[in-house]
Amino acid sequence: MNFCFPAPVELSELRRDPLLWEQELDARPELAKALEQALSRRSGESYWRSAHDHLYGLELADLGQGRPSMARVFGYWDRYEPRPPEHEIDADLFAFCVWMAEIAPGMDPADVRTVAERAGVPTGWPQGAILQAPLAGWEGLGDFHATPRHTVIEGLRIVWVEQGTGETVILLHGDAAWGYQHRHLLRLLAPRFNVVVPDLPGFGRSDRPIAANAFTLRSLGRWLRKFVLALGRHKVTLVAQDLAALPAVRVAAQLPGQVARVALLSPLLPGCTDRQFLQWRRAAQRTPPHQALPLLLDRLGLPAQDFIGAAAYRAPFPTADHLRCALRFPTLLPLRQDAPGAAHQQHALEALSERSLPLLLLLGQEQPTAGPGLGSAWATQSVQGGGGNLAEQAPQALASALTSWLSHS
């Protein structure tokens, strides 16, 4: 159990949802005593973070018996947002029950697992909750011909490609895109570095969670963190395009021994005032999925004659359902300080700024600022010939800037 001490400001930004309530805990005095010893308290609330990064609280009450007599379990969710997926909550509560059986004399964790199995407690994705990428449509991708691999994270298949040897550089695509966006960088950086290009869950050839409450900043950061750990590489560099900066910053803050550098390409961060992005965000909220594909392609700013690129960016979205995560991604960016996820994002940025790792901000000539929130620890550089989509519009200049920075930092 990952017990923790959440800051009061974090608790103030979450809503408390009662999940379990045991009013006669002292009917099992051995369990009550075990909880008191494990938590070093007989009353009050103890907190832990689950494997899904959700915050939970166990509140004990002493009703005059000299030991915990009542217990309640609460989930703490983002205010104004729906509950996390039920299978995640069920899995977290199941892990909590197994932990109680492990610490209490006379209880067997195997019995808890057997009861959960026979009761059909859902601890994985329910049927129909995941949409797989299309099998066809990936032909004719031009110079993006690296052999795809896949890693399964929490039941989601994350597809990625890899080229080159040396220090690992992970290139993260932005919203409305997939790994194809970094095909030029992959080719230009691979002679000197080990370059890994994943498709984020919900994009490209990776699986897509269908429910809106399954695709959040918290889950994106968690999946990306577990992907980085699954790679087993040390001292990796994260390079993130526009909205991918949100999960990348979180992961870098959570894995100080794993992430050695962070570079953000035209990032979109809390408090963003970029007019083009805000128009795209508004369109993503209002446009039905079956009408949204042309807007998504416009967002990428491809040349009118780039028919191969347009076909490649259409390939992951053969149906309206395949577009749902792409349309939800821009809505996840917190625009106000009290918006869901804003505080976590700011804390992660502050944590990175306080560390000594190299931080680079690359902006296109048409994007003079990245918005508020970045401290002076970030070195800023303008990329000649680039707009917001640097990986597509100025790959040579971008690769040159990244190579120089990677070689001297």
Tens digits of per-residue pLDDT, 254-281? 999 899 999 999 998 888 888 888 999 9
Q: Does the pLDDT value for residue 108 go beyond 90? A: yes
* 8 Å CB contact between 13 and 77: no
Q: Position of tokens 């690129």?
A: 309
DSSP state of 226: H
Q: Does the pLDDT value for residue 370 go beyond 60? A: no
Q: Does the pLDDT value for residue 369 go beyond 60? A: no
DSSP state of 147: P
Q: Does the pLDDT value for residue 114 go beyond 70? A: yes
* 8 Å CB contact between 259 and 252: yes
Which pLDDT does position 121 carry in this prediction?
87
Let me know if 225 is exposed, middle or buried by CB neighbors in 10 A (0-12, 13-18, 19+). Answer: buried
Of 45-54, 291-300, 360-369, the least confident: 360-369
- Residue 26 pLDDT level (bands cut at 50, 70, 90): confident
The amino acid that residue 396 corresponds to is Q
* 8 Å CB contact between 299 and 306: no
Q: Does the pLDDT value for residue 217 go beyond 70? A: yes
- β-partners of residue 75 are 17, 56
Q: Does the pLDDT value for residue 371 go beyond 60? A: no
Q: Once rounded to an integer, what is the mean pLDDT over residues 84-112?
A: 94
Q: Once rounded to an integer, what is the mean pLDDT over residues 52-79?
A: 92
Q: Once rounded to an integer, what is the mean pLDDT over residues 132-146?
A: 79
Average pLDDT value for the chain:
90
Write down the pTM of the prediction: 0.92
Domain 148-408 maps to which CATH number in 3.30.465.10, 3.40.30.10, 3.40.50.300, 3.40.50.1820? Answer: 3.40.50.1820
Q: Once rounded to an integer, what is the mean pLDDT over residues 139-145?
A: 75
Residues 6+ apart with CB under 8 A from 102: 109
